[in-house]
Structure 1
Amino acid sequence: MYPSELTGTYTIDPAHSRFGFVARHAMVTKVRGSIPLMEATAFLDASDPSASHVRVVLDVAGIDTGNPQRDGHLRTGDFLDATNHPHITFTSTAVKHTGDDAFEVTGCLTIRGVTREITIPLDHTGVAIDAQGIRRVGFEGGMTINRKDYGVSFNAALETGGVMISDKVTLEFDLSAFKTA
C-alpha cells in the first residue's frame, strides 16, 4: 500500500501542526481556536495500518482564540477547567485504512476528565524529505463532538432565542510528523 520506508516511529511537529476547534457563537458566527501540542508520538506501519497507533497530549492552558479575555474564560471551570484538567488527551485504539489516502483513527478522547471513544477520519496528505534529510508525513481531518458529552455545559440564553454557544464543536487536525526511528 505505502512504501515500507514509511514504517516507523514519528513525532508530531508542534511548529507545523494545528489542533483546532470551531464553535458557533451567538448563533450567527463561528469562533475558531487552537490548543497547543505538549507531546505526540505515532507509530506508522505502512504494510499493516491496523498496527499503527498514536498518542496526543494538548496543553489546555495555551488555548488561543485570538481574544485573551475569551481564552481566560475558556480555561475556567465554566469550560475546560485548566486548573484541574490541564491536558486534553487522545490515545488510539484502532487504525483502519478506508481507501486511497483515507484512514479512520479510533481512540479515547479525554476532556475535563471525561473519556469517550471517537473515530477521526484523516486523509494522508503527503510524504517529503525536508531540508535536514528527515522524512515527514502529513495528515489532515476533522470531526464534530458535542461538548456536553465532556462536561462542558456552560451557556447563556439569547434574548432573540437560542443560546450563546453551540453544543457542537468541530475539531480540526492538520498534522506534520517527522520520523524519529
Structure 2
Amino acid sequence: MGLLNRHRATAPAPATDTTSAPAPARLTGIWTLDPAHSSIAFVARHAMITKVRGTFEAFDGRLYLDGEHPGRSTADVTVEVASLDTRQEQRDRHLRSADFFHVEAHPVLSFRSTSVQQLSAGTYHLSGDLSIKGVTRPVVLDLTHTGTATDPFGNERAGFEGSTTVDRTEWGLTWNRVLETGGVLVGEKVKLEFDVSAIRAA
C-alpha cells in the first residue's frame, strides 16, 4: 500500500511517563503491524436487535514501544476505508457512500496515540486521536499485550488486542432510518476491536 513507507523509522519524542510498573525491556524498539495476521474490526447494532460485524482489510501501522517506560510508547495506524468488508456488498457500497464514510472524499481514517497508561502487567489505556471524515476526536482504548514470539522465518513478533466503543455521530456518520416499531435502523454506538501482530523493524 505504501502508506507505512512514508513514515520515517525513527523513535518519536518521548511523552510524559505515567506508568508505575515497567514492561519487559526487550519490547523496546520500532514495530510494524502485519496485516496478514492482524484484524481491525467494528460491530454495530442493526434494527436494534442484531449485530453487524465488519473488518478493514487494508491498513498500515507503526508502534514505538518503550519496554522500561511504557508511557513513552506511541502508535500510528492508517486504514484504507474502501477496504471495509461486512460480507454483504450492497451494505458495503452504502457504507462507502456519502451517507457514511464518503470514501471518495475521505479515503483513509487514522489513529495517533497521545499517551499510554499502564494499569497492570500487560494491560494499558492507550489514548489517542481518531480521525474519520476530516473530524478528529479523542478516544481511549483498553489494550492488552498478549505476548511475544519468534516465528519460523526469524521475525520477532509482539501481539496486542484491544477495544473501545465510540458514538459514530461524533465523526459525522449520522445517516439513519426510524423503524415503525420504534428505534432506529443503525445503532449509533460502534465497538472497535483490534487484534494485531507486530513485527520488530530491522
Partner residue in 1 for 2:166: 145
Structure 1 residue 36: deviation in Å? 2.5
Which residue among 87, 98, 107 is the counterpart of 1:86? 107
Distance of 1:115 and 1:152 partners within structure 2: 13
Structure 1 residue 4: deviation in Å? 2.2
* TM-score normalised per structure 1: 0.97
* SS in structure 1 of the partner of residue 174 of structure 2: coil
Distance of 1:36 and 1:88 partners within structure 2: 13
Distance of 2:71 and 2:146 partners within structure 1: 19
Distance of 1:37 and 1:85 partners within structure 2: 15
Distance of 2:103 and 2:180 partners within structure 1: 30
Structure 1 residue 98: deviation in Å? 0.9
Does the 8 A contact of 1:37 with 1:56 survive in 2?
no
The one-letter code matched in structure 2 to 1:110 is S
Does the 8 A contact of 1:22 with 1:30 survive in 2?
yes
State whether structure 2 residue 29 is matched by structure 1 residue 29: no
Structure 1 residue 131: deviation in Å? 0.6
* SS in structure 1 of the partner of residue 85 of structure 2: coil
- What are the Cα deviations for residues 55-114 of structure 1, in whole angstroms up to 9, with x where unaligned? 000011111000011000000010011010100100011111111210111110001110
Distance of 2:58 and 2:68 partners within structure 1: 28
* SS in structure 2 of the partner of residue 173 of structure 1: strand
Distance of 1:2 and 1:96 partners within structure 2: 12
Distance of 2:58 and 2:139 partners within structure 1: 19
The one-letter code matched in structure 2 to 1:7 is T
State the identity as a percent: 46
* Correspondence list, 1:162-173, <5 A: 162-173=183-194
State whether structure 2 residue 67 is matched by structure 1 residue 39: no
Structure 1 residue 5: deviation in Å? 2.1
Gaps of 5+ in 1: none
* Correspondence list, 1:86-165, <5 A: 86-165=107-186
Partner residue in 1 for 2:19: none
Gaps of 5+ in 2: 1-21
Structure 1 residue 157: deviation in Å? 0.7
RMSD (Å), alpha carbons:
0.9
The one-letter code matched in structure 1 to 2:40 is F
The 3 A distance-change label for structure 1 pair 84 and 90 is same
Partner residue in 2 for 1:75: 96
Partner residue in 2 for 1:53: 74
Structure 1 residue 15: deviation in Å? 0.5
Structure 1 residue runs of 4+, over 3 Å off? none
Structure 1 residue 49: deviation in Å? 0.6
Aligned length: 181
Distance of 1:161 and 1:2 partners within structure 2: 49
The one-letter code matched in structure 2 to 1:121 is D
The one-letter code matched in structure 1 to 2:85 is D
